[in-house]
Amino acid sequence: MNSREKILGAISINKPSLIELPVIDIKSTSSLSVDWVDEFIKTLESIGGKVVQLSSIDLIKLEIQEAKLRGEYIVNTLPVLGEVNNEINPTMEASLLESIDRAYIEGSIGVAENGSVWLYENQIKNRLLPFICQHLVICLNINKIVPNMHEAYQQVDVAKEGYGVFLAGPSKTADIEQSLVIGAHGARSLLVYLIS
């Protein structure tokens, strides 16, 4: 018996018995008395994001037009906001995307407990887009906010596409001398428009 077989044999002898996963009552994990929209806003803003509630998308359309007039490279992925940047595709390399000033993306689900937003691959057009742009703007229907990740995972269809991501706040790190740096390795800011 070689040393590999000895190690594997010892592991199989000392392997703990299997136990059933706990059953989680999802209804008990969220309180009905909490305003989940308010909780989402507080949580996201506490991690460096910004939230603006809107009743109309006209303000966003105007914002995009003004930014383009200033010469900014704006990428819009939402047809409802106007002209979509069809040049953005899944095969584009980082060198072609690095000059994007601001990207507008639709979110699917907002999670109140951690301020994250679920983005499907078809919403972001290119996996690099939410991370390589200077400023990320997510448009989210206010009715799509759920209390916690348990409820979010019930709504996320992981088989729908090959990729998706929960994104929370702008890029940040505090590794260097415990000093918080925002925009270290991703978008420098995150703005979520909550649209009713």
The answer as to whether 20 is a domain residue is no
> Tell me, what's the pLDDT at 17?
85
The answer as to whether 22 is a domain residue is no
Q: What CATH number did the domain enclosing 40 receive? A: 3.40.50.10420
The answer as to whether 121 is a domain residue is yes
Number of H helices, E strands in the chain: 7, 11
The answer as to whether 10 is a domain residue is no
The answer as to whether 37 is a domain residue is yes
Mean pLDDT of 109-131: 95
The answer as to whether 89 is a domain residue is yes
The answer as to whether 172 is a domain residue is yes
- The domain tally of the chain equals 1
> Mind listing the pLDDT tens digit for each residue in 150-162?
999 999 988 888 8
The whole domain housing 133 covers 33-195
> Mind listing the pLDDT tens digit for each residue in 13-65?
888 888 998 887 777 766 666 799 999 999 999 989 999 999 999 999 999 99
The answer as to whether 84 is a domain residue is yes
Rg of the chain over all Cα atoms, to the nearest angstrom: 21
Mean pLDDT of 82-89: 92
Residues 6+ apart with CB under 8 A from 132: 94, 97, 98, 100, 186
Q: How far apart are CA 154 and CA 108, in angstroms?
A: 13
> Mind listing the pLDDT tens digit for each residue in 169-181?
888 887 777 787 8
